[in-house]
Amino acid sequence: MTEELKTLGDAVGVSSTIMLWAGWLPPLVSIVTLIWFCIRIYETKTVQNLLRKDNT
């Protein structure tokens, strides 16, 4: 996945979270947004380094 696509996904995630708080989107969107952000956090170098240290 390219960085541009990841950035676009982050922008969509943030905007959908804001719209959810405003009551414009259904709760299903909040689940998808939560999954997206969890994946993005899991992919960070910090988390990956912590997981690698635990495995060794």
pLDDT in single tens digits along all 56 residues of the chain: 688 888 888 888 888 777 777 776 677 777 888 888 899 889 889 888 988 875 55
Look at the pTM and tell me if it is higher than 0.75: no
Q: Are 33 and 20 in contact (CB under 8 A)?
A: yes
Structure token pair of residue 46: 């910090």
CA distance 29 to 23: 11
